[in-house]
Amino acid sequence: MRQAHPMFATVGIMGVGLIGGSLGLTIQAHGLATRVLGSGRSVESLKTAQELGLIDEIVSEEELATRADLIIVCVPVAQSLALFSKIAKHLQPHALVIDVGSTKLDVIASAKQAFGEKVGQMIACHPIAGGAQHGPRAAKEDLFDKKQLIICPILENASKDISKIEQFWQLLGAHVFKMPALMHDHLFAAVSHLPHLLSYAMMLQIAQSPDADKKFVHAGAGFRDFTRIAGSSPEMWTDIAVANQVAILAELDGFLKIIEQMKHALKTKDTEKLQRMFQLASQSRNNWQVESTLTSPIHE
Amino acid sequence: MRQAHPMFATVGIMGVGLIGGSLGLTIQAHGLATRVLGSGRSVESLKTAQELGLIDEIVSEEELATRADLIIVCVPVAQSLALFSKIAKHLQPHALVIDVGSTKLDVIASAKQAFGEKVGQMIACHPIAGGAQHGPRAAKEDLFDKKQLIICPILENASKDISKIEQFWQLLGAHVFKMPALMHDHLFAAVSHLPHLLSYAMMLQIAQSPDADKKFVHAGAGFRDFTRIAGSSPEMWTDIAVANQVAILAELDGFLKIIEQMKHALKTKDTEKLQRMFQLASQSRNNWQVESTLTSPIHE
């Protein structure tokens, strides 16, 4: 639905990959901005984004920061500090900055360091949306529709600004949740970051084996689904892993304890124990599936 | 396509769950048998299977073994020995027995023990097909269509019998591969059995945590796919794990070595090493996807 009055005169998108490009597309489709600026590392991506109509104009990062009423930072989380530092002094006093990173404590720490007393203008966001495809050509207008969007407010944020950003994401179709950054990073270490690491490791285990070719021929639908997330961007996930190192290592240790129990049960052929473990796991999985169809907005 | 002359006068299906039920349905749809008998542990499943037309007649295991020209054993692999022992003395001399178990060395060992000098009548099979749903109501006519089917011949099998079974599965739409049971169990430990164990363990790790409810609310599409196989039958997978214990433990140890490397890189924030590992994994995954669309028959 197009808005009669755009929420923001000028939106600036820094990084026009899948997320940034989809934001440009969706913001324009919904009439949430009069003009959409784009900046980024890759001139090719920017040109593609402009050709596809995801952004109106290609500008430098400084110019974007000077002109935009809403700045959306869509770069790998490890680049946040450098980018925030570059734009800090150019921000208009009324401008808001949001990000889309998969980790929040580190992005907020970078924001505090770079923006100083202006840090209240930055509102940390995480859309639970993505896809195997990268780059502006993968942009989709419905990428955020019915997906979760987490806002991690900090004390310095004005509540009217948080409300405005909440409304912005809702207009893009997202279901907005608010939680502290510490809780966000803990939850996503468990349900997203660790599974990514395990999926990468499983893929490596096969790829590095002498009969990898044979194995890939016979891998089936279960393997395909289990390793789908191993196709994700190595750069982005290296950043996420390092940014959320503490929480991920804690989850990994918990996981390895369960694996040790399972391994012991298997070694001793303790079928009762094995079946009890598998039973609890499959019950949880099947209950979750049912509930998710009913209540959770993020499962396609 | 219905066959003008049925391949077998009477087919007997032992265990009418998803696989057994689908076989009954597909065999009748293709006209591969004049009559389909069913036996099993659960009277309720058998009645359902008969009502749904998956089988023509419910009989005892002994009667099934006496009457069937082709006996298809569709029970959890741990029950193979008991079932083979029960039917061994009732087999007609020309009858063939096939199974559909996910492990082959153990099933063949059970067959040798139970059938003795008749073991040549048993041909070990493994259809790479299944689904999250269990029981006869989940039966599908296209379950084997374009899916892989592995035959693990033994020296005692007559080559004309192997050819007949190969043709049987091909008529159901499957792509037939032949390999030694040892290789089968090694390959599937890597691409199927270990991923199932890891997926169960991941699910347990979340389910047993104090904030499991919160985690399940925020788990997304990546988690959904990664844990899909954790919804599989605990009984069946306990059997498979124990039956293929040696190969699975070897794969698990290899996997844990990779996890240790990854954990060390993460602890020391060795981003170069982490990114190299993720890169290799994601390249393999993305290359596999491409190839699988082109050549591999089993990916839906």
Using pLDDT thresholds of 50, 70 and 90, give the confidence band for residue A298.
very low
**Nearest residue on chain A to B243, alpha-carbon basis:** A269
Q: Who has greater pLDDT, A2 or B83?
A: B83
Confidence of residue A5 (pLDDT cuts 50, 70, 90): confident
For residue B254, what are the CA distances in angstroms to A79, B245, B258, B259?
34, 14, 7, 9
Looking at residue B221, what is its pLDDT?
86
Residue with tokens 């009667």: B63
Query: Of chain B residues 239-298, which have a CB less than 8 A from chain A?
Result: 241-242, 245, 248-249, 251-252, 254-256, 258-259, 262-263, 266-267, 269, 271, 274-275, 277-282, 284-286, 288-289, 291-292, 296, 298
- Greatest Cα pair distance, chain A, in angstroms, is 68
Taking only the tens place, the pLDDT of each residue in A268-291 is 999 999 999 999 999 999 999 655
User: For residue range A172-223, what is the model confidence (pLDDT) as tens digits?
Assistant: 999 999 999 999 999 999 999 999 999 999 999 999 999 999 999 999 889 9
Residue of chain B whose Cα is closest to the Cα of A206: B190
pLDDT at B129: 86
User: Region A249-259: what's the mean pLDDT?
Assistant: 98
**ipTM of the complex as predicted:** 0.86
pLDDT at B3: 64
Euclidean distance between CA atoms B189 and B192, whole angstroms: 6
Task: For B7, list phi and psi in degrees, rounded to 5.
Answer: -70, -35
At A77-101, the pLDDT tens digits run 999 999 999 999 999 999 999 999 9
d(CA A35, CA A9): 6
The chain-wide mean pLDDT, for chain A, equals 93
Concatenate the DSSP letters of all residues of B259-298 into one string: HHHHHHHHHTT-HHHHHHHHHHHHHHHHHHHHHHHHT-TT
Task: Give the distance from residue B91's alpha carbon to the nearest chain A alpha carbon, in angstroms.
Answer: 31
For residue B178, give the 3-state DSSP assignment: strand
Residues 6+ apart with CB under 8 A from A208: B258, B280
Structural domains of chain B ordered from first start: 8-179 (3.40.50.720), 184-268 (1.10.3660.10)
Taking the CA of residue B26 as centre, how many other CA atoms within 13 Å lie in the half-sphere pointing to its CB? 23
What does the pLDDT read at residue A300? 30
The per-residue pLDDT for A87 is 97
The first and second tokens of residue B235, run together, are: 């009984």
Q: With cut-offs at 50, 70 and 90, classify the pLDDT of residue A4.
A: low
Query: Between residues 68 and 107 of chain A, which touch chain B (CB distance below 8 Å)?
Result: 78
A-chain residues near B280 (CB < 8 A): 204, 207-208
Percent of chain A having pLDDT more than 70? Answer: 94
d(CA B253, CA B247): 10
Q: Do A192 and B298 touch (CB under 8 A)?
A: no
Edge-to-edge strand order for the sheet containing B122-127?
B57-58, B33-39, B8-14, B70-73, B96-99, B122-127, B148-152, B175-178
A-chain residue closest to B278, CA distance: A234
- Residues of chain B under the 70 pLDDT cut: 1-4, 132, 289-300
At residue B35, φ and ψ (nearest 5 deg) are -145, 140
Minimal CA separation from B76 to chain A, in Å: 13
Which residue from B minimizes the CA distance to A246? Answer: B267
B262/A187 touch (CB, cutoff 8 Å), yes or no = no
Chain B, window 108-137: residues with a beta carbon less than 8 angstroms from a chain A beta carbon: 128
| CB under 8 A, 24+ apart: contacts of B258-261 | B258/A201, B258/A204, B258/A205, B258/A208, B259/A197, B259/A198, B259/A201, B259/A252, B259/A256
pLDDT at A20 over 90: yes
Of A197, A207, A299, the CB nearest to B224: A299
